[in-house]
Amino acid sequence: MPSARLSVPRAARATSLRLLALALIGMGGCGPARGERVVAAESGAVDVSVRRPAFTLTDTDGKPFAFAERTAGRLTFLEFGYTNCPDVCPVHMANLATVIGKLAPSDRMRTTVVFVSVDPERDSAQVIRKWLDNFDVNFIGLRGTRAEVDAAQQLVGFGAAIIQADTAGRGTAKGTANGATTVSHAAPVVVFSADDTAHVMYPFGTRQSDWARDIPLLLARGGKSGAEATASMASAQSAAQSAARPTATIERAYVVVPAGQGPAALYFTARNPFAMADTIVSIGTEAIGPASLHQSMHDKAAGTIHMMAVAALEVPPHGAVRLTPGGFHGMIGPLSRPLVRGERIALTVRFEHAGVARADATVITYADVDSATTPVSVITGAKRQD
């Protein structure tokens, strides 16, 4: 059975496993009946039945956040952790950010990720916000007193976190520069469906492929019953199976904040898994303005460069094209609003044969471009815009 609690020192591992057992005993009697599992049979999720808890903590803006009210009816991923966690907490957050970021915009809008710090003495609101922004600026961070956080954990069947100084006496209650303070805490992500009940929780070790398979099924779970619920689940399973088939994909997508009043640059990598060439025929960023394909044309003899609109861009079979500075790129403008570094913009790329591929483009600044993009590649197959 996977451990539901993280403990940095080995000495606390046995305590962690005992606390997991107690948590599952408290939940296990309320699991779904046979044949009613809400996720795929091969899922490593643990079946539970927990109503969406009513607790209020403070968000990173310093405002009260009533969990049950603010997340009601939404697919909600609840994680208890701490920002000094060396691997479990950031891995959960990174995996969720990656998979949710690939959902269609309409599905992303139905999800909420909430991270509750179990280490309020070290995790200030500013620390939590900065940490979460490494994964997704839309993730919600909450904190409270130890008693408030302990009470919130009890509502989902978890024991209170254990925070201890190291046995050598080097640590303090507030931790030390060498990270001597150790934290043992409940590690699973508890997932509340639109019916305001958690039917599953996911232990550490859940991979992105697991999330990608199960999230469509969880999104389909609402306040439905009988034939209606069965039809929704069947539809979600079909969608999950379709998602597993090869398809054109968009990776490493970035929108650059303009240095002046001009358009924003757009860079990404498009991959074609099929044995025949395909063509990008349009790109879209409706949330911030119209987008179009362009190419930087270099006149080496004259030492000049100019940009030219292109109508389409070919993607070779079993290959990729990269939109990069100084080569093919997208332009977005006029912008409908200012851009904020770190936010994500819904990007739609239409292929002639593969159809539509969607991704989130991260907003960066020109100072980030060098590290975020790959060197200019020699790419052929662009069709000029007449």
CATH number at residue 378: 2.60.40.1890
**Residues 65-79: what's their mean pLDDT?**
94
Torsion of CA 57, 60, 64, 69, to 10 degrees: -80
For the chain, give the percent of residues with pLDDT over 70: 77
Q: Is it the case that residue 350 has pLDDT exceeding 70?
A: yes
**Residues 123-149: what's their mean pLDDT?**
94
Burial of 23-38, coded b for 16+ CB within 10 Å and e otherwise, reads: bbebbeeebeeeeebb
For the chain, give the percent of residues with pLDDT over 90: 50
Question: Which of 220, 243, 266 marks a domain boundary?
Answer: 243
Report the distance separating Cα 25 and Cα 358, nearest Å: 42
The mean predicted confidence, pLDDT, of the chain is: 80
Smallest Cα–Cα separation from 334: which of 295, 290, 293?
290
For 129, the 3-state DSSP assignment is helix
Do 239 and 313 belong to one domain?
no
So what's the pLDDT on residue 348? 94
**Residues 147-174: what's their mean pLDDT?**
75
**Residues 106-128: what's their mean pLDDT?**
92
DSSP output for 76-102: EEEEEE-TT-SSHHHHHHHHHHHHHHT
Task: State both tokens at 65.
Answer: 């956040």
**Residues whose CB falls within 8 Å of the CB of residue 10, separated by 6 or more in sequence, listed in order:** none
- Taking every pair of Cα atoms in the chain, the longest distance, rounded to a whole number of angstroms, is 77
pLDDT band with cut points at 50, 70 and 90 for residue 130: very high
pLDDT digits (tens, 9 = 90+) for 220-276: 876 544 344 445 445 555 555 554 567 899 999 999 999 888 899 999 999 999 999
**Residues 127-131: what's their mean pLDDT?**
94
Do 256 and 125 belong to one domain?
no
Report the distance separating Cα 143 and Cα 341, nearest Å: 25
CB-CB neighbours of 307 under 10 Å:
11
**Residues whose CB falls within 8 Å of the CB of residue 4, separated by 6 or more in sequence, listed in order:** 16, 19, 20, 23, 24, 158, 186, 187, 188, 201, 203
pLDDT band with cut points at 50, 70 and 90 for residue 104: confident
Do 169 and 276 belong to one domain?
no
pLDDT band with cut points at 50, 70 and 90 for residue 14: very low
CB-CB neighbours of 286 under 10 Å:
13
So what's the pLDDT on residue 76? 96
So what's the pLDDT on residue 222? 66
Domain around 379: 249-384
pLDDT digits (tens, 9 = 90+) for 196-223: 999 999 988 888 989 999 999 999 876 5
**Residues 76-94: what's their mean pLDDT?**
89
Do 54 and 139 belong to one domain?
yes
Do 254 and 236 belong to one domain?
no
| Region of residue 303 (left: phi > 0; alpha: psi -120 to 50; beta: else) | left
Q: Is it the case that residue 384 has pLDDT exceeding 50?
A: no
Do 18 and 127 belong to one domain?
yes
Asked if 39 and 200 count as a contact pair (C-beta separation under 8 A), the reply is yes
**Residues 75-101: what's their mean pLDDT?**
90
Do 218 and 277 belong to one domain?
no
**Residues 310-330: what's their mean pLDDT?**
93
So what's the pLDDT on residue 245? 61
Identify any residues that bridge with 347 across adjacent strands, giving them in sequence order. Answer: 359
Smallest Cα–Cα separation from 26: which of 183, 219, 211, 186?
186
Asked if 303 and 355 count as a contact pair (C-beta separation under 8 A), the reply is no
Question: Which of 199, 218, 243 marks a domain boundary?
Answer: 243
Smallest Cα–Cα separation from 363: which of 279, 265, 297, 291?
265
Question: Which of 208, 223, 243 marks a domain boundary?
Answer: 243
Do 184 and 46 belong to one domain?
yes
Identify any residues that bridge with 162 across adjacent strands, giving them in sequence order. Answer: 184
Q: Is it the case that residue 4 has pLDDT exceeding 70?
A: no
* φ, ψ dihedrals at 204, nearest 5°: -60, 140
**Residues 307-328: what's their mean pLDDT?**
92
Do 255 and 227 belong to one domain?
no
CATH number at residue 134: 3.40.30.10
pLDDT digits (tens, 9 = 90+) for 16-47: 444 444 444 344 434 444 446 788 777 888 99
- Say how many domains are in the chain: 2
Do 228 and 259 belong to one domain?
no
Do 235 and 255 belong to one domain?
no
User: How does DSSP classify residue 203?
Assistant: -
* φ, ψ dihedrals at 165, nearest 5°: -75, 160
**Residues 103-117: what's their mean pLDDT?**
88
Do 35 and 106 belong to one domain?
yes
So what's the pLDDT on residue 279? 96
DSSP output for 254-308: EEEPPSSSSPEEEEEEEEE-SSS-EEEEEEEBTTTB-EEEEEEEEETTTTEEEEE
**Residues 327-335: what's their mean pLDDT?**
93
Measure CA 201 to chain center. Answer: 17
pLDDT band with cut points at 50, 70 and 90 for residue 299: confident
